Amino acid sequence: SGEKARSEPMVVRNFRFQILVFPAGTVSAGGATVSAFVEADPPEGLDPRWVFSSVKYQVALVNWLDYRRTIIKTDTWSFSRDGIDRGWHDLVRCAELSQESGWLGPENSLLFRACCCVRQADGFLPGNDYNPRKETGFVGLMNHGATCYMNGLLQSLFHAGEFRRIVYSIDCDKPQEDGTDPKDGDEGGNPTLIQALQKVFYNLQTSDAAVNCKELMKSFGWDNMDAFTQHDAQELNRILCDRLEEQMKGSDQDGTIKRLFEGEMENYIECLDVEYTSTRTETFYDIQLNIKSEKGHDLHNIEESLREFTADEMLDGDNLYEAEGHGRQRAKKGIRFLRFPPVLNLQLKRFHFDMERMDMIKLNSRFEIPRRLDLSSHAPGAGIYLLHSVVVHSGDVNSGHYYAYIRPNLDDKWVKFDDDNVTPCSEYAAVEDNFGGSDPNVWNYFEPRSEFRSTEPPKRPRIHNAYILVYIREDSAADVLRVPDPMEVNRRMVERCNAEVRLAEQRRREKLESQSKVRINLIFEPHLVSMPGFWDLAHIPAGHSVKMNRDQTAQELIVAAETVLQAPQAHLVCFSVHQRTSNRQVRFSHMPPNAILRDHIPSTGGQFESSDTSLAVLCVAAKGFEQAGWKEGIIPPVKWTGGDSGPDELSRWDDGKFLMLIVKYFCRQKVKLVTLGCFYLPRDETLATMIKEGWVSERLRPYTDSGEIAPLPAQMLDPKSDSSWDCWEEVREREMRHVSIKKPAKSEQLQLMSGDIIVWQQPAPPAEKDVSAKSGEVVPVYAVNTVADLAEHHLNSIDVNVTLHDRRQPLLVDGVVMNGNYGPIRPPTATQDSKTKDGGAAQQETPEEIALSLSRVKFTMPTARELKMDLRWMQVHVTNFIAQEFSLKRAQVPANPTGDDNATFLWLFNSAPSSGQGEEPLNSVTSRASLKDIQRAAPYVSPAGGRKPLNVHAVEMPFRLGPDGLEAGTVAIGVRFFDSTVSEVGSEVVVLSAAGTVQDLLVQASALVQADWGISGSLRALEVADGRLHKLHRPTDPLRSLACFGKSNILFHCVRVEADVDILEGDQQLVEVYHCDRSSQQAFGHPLLIKASPGEKAGTLKARCKDRLRVPEAEFKSWRLVRAGTRQGRVHLKDDEPWDSDAHPDARICLEHVHPNPTSSFARTSRYNKPLTIK
């Protein structure tokens, strides 16, 4: 029939839909074509403002006779109550419907097929008047960059009412010893962590708008980069609770957080054949559950993961357990839970290191989470736990977004907290939708295939899934979730928070009021004359400051200028700073008297202070008014000196008829550029007008009289001789354009506008074509005969910080020199010999300089000097100049060919050659590169003074860099010698046959060992990278197998050579023990290689490490021997525990202690590698 028909409903996730068909077409189709739609049929109980976003749907009208003619339509739509259906009006013409055409089947039926791919469960579509506080009872948290992980965690903690009560109850508002109240919330002071957290929680409970977390982040010690660095939410939870507990010690709330979140488990090893058991009790704040088991198969729910977590591990075969008093025995080891806390945090280990890819990946496999979790089988009296919060991570391992679903009262009402968006949601959206797994994608079922394929539709992973789960013990739920009354818990805190709210409101009103005003920096011609050289309008000196309403006119500003200059307003005209859209120039532009000030305010903010909107305005008086110079902010009035002719009436200024120019003069004899003032002229006159009127020579007289510039030649003093002048336009900073002085100002060739800057000068002599360095010259000399030459000179002049290094300087990696000192580097002190030549303040030693000075290596400390260079110099000029300035007599440079067999060659680097990341020498790129090319390739450093700084490091090497530096078939290897205490004692560069072996290297190295190095006997060669052993080389290994082979920077990419003192006996093995920073968990320094016996006690191994490294007892007592890389994570080994009790193939041993120079490394402050900290 022609009536509309609906199919039986179909459900994908919790999106229920049906096919809506109009066999005779819709009204829109005019009844001429078959129409079909996908219609949403939401389940009962959804909020009327439901939405299913970005649903990809497909409708197919099947041809009964030839499936290849099937009509398939695909699109994407967000289904909602107002957009409940979506489809097509014109699938096939009704006139074509017949059994012969195949569109009609048995009983003249039409066959439709539809499918939907739903990305997420139901969402919420709030209107403009949506108020989360009224709708849900809660508000959200603002995202300050990449802080969604923090917001999700804070919401889950806030909704644990007992935790909120604990935070409220901490009294941190007690008067100080001096009787004053503690400083908090002001612009200059940092609030304490507890105060800031109290404020966030109080505002979450009482505010009607999303809460700002900036003060809390400030109390963490975070900067802007921390705000834009995403970290792990569970990691933040642990650190936050640790810091809170530290600040609560000694108070009446000490231990309350532990009682809420802390559980207990026991690590055990039980021998199977003898009566021996070893146990160790540990506490936990969260349980990390595997998504993929240790054996590699997927785990499907919490119960399976807990069973795997507590499963026994057999110690047998080669992995027998060394039982004290019983020898090596068969045993089983594992973990058992002793008690669970009232609030149980479970972290699903979705981020996993893939051994095949050797990279971190995210596991999106399906993992079910129950609403009721029975833990009675895992610990005595554990009982039932109810799901309270689900923190979701959406994205991959490199980027993503966190948000939380919370059930505040453990009823059926779930709320989604997505930063500042707080909306109700269904239970399905909060729980089942976040199991993970994959979803079938829309596909063309009728697409012809050349070969048989599976009928399974394609799937795509569900990248949003549960990451942190919060369960609350059922019999403790009422106490844990009870909402505290802030006034009852801590009245003083409430008063403080309310006072801060009032203060914030007052500041908001003041800011709104200031936004209606604008500060005018009213400047006059003497202000411009006082500025020599090239200047930009952002550095104009402060003139007469006037604060005006933004809606006032320029005429009212002229009235203010009249008061200052005491000249009639009819003879004044104003020009405001304006950025031209055509060429991005910033120039003065005419302000008509009826112009509104608001329209002239720069869109990028004021010229002086971003917090105070300002506008620079130049006020020009008519010709004949003279104004003396200004001093110390005093602006003298103008005087009329123009005789009886009367001043020009500038109030009638027409920018189409007149032109106002800022005029400068360049003296090539003294290489000086001065500002003469402002000159206006009709557009149909030439620039020579100001010469003929004698204005230029008159304005130059004070400069020539004072000797600031050279006197003008006689022909230039003649007003009729304008041919003796050259004129340039200062187009933009450091860019000049030669202009004709005989063409009218309005001509297209000149293209001059009001506010442009022109420069007069004497005609320049012909320029030399060859600017290369002459014989006997170290660097080329560039003549400055025109203002364009001066601009180019300023553009290319640069101060280069050059540091000269000794090639024997020890390795300095991550702020660490292997000098035998592992304690914190002493505070920087001023040295006697670091005073400046003029007796100025002494320079302070940096921690790196102190570390180098403590090294046993004999070398010259780096010497730094600031040298003025030219970016046009070629690389050879740079090396010439450095050799001259540092008096390097043996340096072989073109300007100083020594002919000495012991000549050295300068290698240049962007950073210290034996530090940093081991970057390649600059000389290895091309010797024809200019200093400008070196600057472009330099690592970015925040420029000081608006110019990109340049640091160059130089080192004298025994051979030239490049293919002509060494004989064919040879290779240079950097060798660094270490003694038995793993301290660097010396270094050398050896040249070997590229076809040689490590044994050849060791033979030549042994001949270079000096007696005072403490190295004797046979040698071994190894390579270290990132604080870990890269490889211990066999003597028979070819040199080409070295990681440093072929590297240009042989001072960084080098081989460590040391005495082979570890003679292994029996089943002993050589063990790497590396240094690990306790805060960032990063390896640093050079590892120790030490022999160890199977089953040797950790205490004995640790003591031998101390003796080898010669670490003082006072320092070593805080060090820990740690096993890492196993299922249990990082384990601090007890003295009576065997160092190899866990035979996991990835197990590794490290000495965990404080990094001696933790703030030096770029890796520690990098956006991508910065550890999460709360200071």
Contact indicator for 679, 698 with CB cutoff of 8 Å: no
**What values do phi and psi take at 389, rounded to 5?**
-135, 145
**What values do phi and psi take at 936, rounded to 5?**
-65, -35
Helix axes 148-158, 193-206, angle to 10 degrees: 70
Question: Got the DSSP string for 150-207?
Answer: HHHHHHHHHTSHHHHHHHHH----PPPTTSPPPP-SSSSPPPPHHHHHHHHHHHHHH-
Tokens of 538: 């952002």
Residue of 148, 172, 425, 1044 marked catalytic: 148
3-state secondary structure of 245: helix
Find, among 958, 1013, 964, the residue nearest to 991 by Cα.
958
**Distance, CA of 1103 to CA of 535 (rounded, Å):** 67
**Distance, CA of 215 to CA of 221 (rounded, Å):** 10
Residue of 401, 793, 794, 1030 marked catalytic: 401
**Distance, CA of 1029 to CA of 1047 (rounded, Å):** 19
Q: Is residue 574 annotated as a catalytic residue, yes or no? A: no
**Which helix (H) or strand (E) element contains residue 1165?**
helix 1162-1165
3-state secondary structure of 168: helix
Contact indicator for 368, 301 with CB cutoff of 8 Å: yes
**What values do phi and psi take at 121, rounded to 5?**
-70, -175
Tokens of 457: 């539709």
**Distance, CA of 817 to CA of 840 (rounded, Å):** 30
Tokens of 436: 């993970």
**What values do phi and psi take at 948, rounded to 5?**
-70, 120
Tell me the pairing of strands 343-349 and 286-290.
parallel
CA 17 to chain centre: 45
Q: Which residues contact 943 (CB under 8 A, 6 or more apart)?
A: 949
- The number of C-alpha atoms within 13 Å of 80 and in the hemisphere containing its C-beta is 14
CA 614 to chain centre: 32
Q: Which residues contact 621 (CB under 8 A, 6 or more apart)?
A: 524, 525, 565, 567, 571, 572, 627, 638, 647, 650
Contact indicator for 440, 417 with CB cutoff of 8 Å: no
Find, among 777, 731, 786, the residue nearest to 753 by Cα.
731
The region, left, alpha or beta by phi > 0 then psi within -120 to 50, assigned to residue 145 is left
**Distance, CA of 616 to CA of 540 (rounded, Å):** 8
Tokens of 653: 């200024």
Alpha helices by DSSP H, listed for 783-909, are: 787-796, 847-853, 875-885
Contact indicator for 766, 785 with CB cutoff of 8 Å: no
- The number of C-alpha atoms within 13 Å of 189 and in the hemisphere containing its C-beta is 10
Find, among 699, 762, 756, the residue nearest to 730 by Cα.
756
**Distance, CA of 1 to CA of 371 (rounded, Å):** 48
Question: Got the DSSP string for 257-271?
Answer: HHHHH-EEEEEEEEE
Alpha helices by DSSP H, listed for 646-721, are: 689-692, 695-705, 714-717
How long a stretch of residues is the chain?
Answer: 1175
Which residues share a beta bridge with 1151?
A: 1075, 1121
**Distance, CA of 394 to CA of 463 (rounded, Å):** 6
Q: Is residue 600 annotated as a catalytic residue, yes or no? A: no
Tokens of 191: 């609030």
CA angle 812/813/816 to nearest 5° reads: 70
- End-to-end CA distance of the chain: give it in Å, rounded: 75
Q: Which residues are catalytic?
A: 148, 401
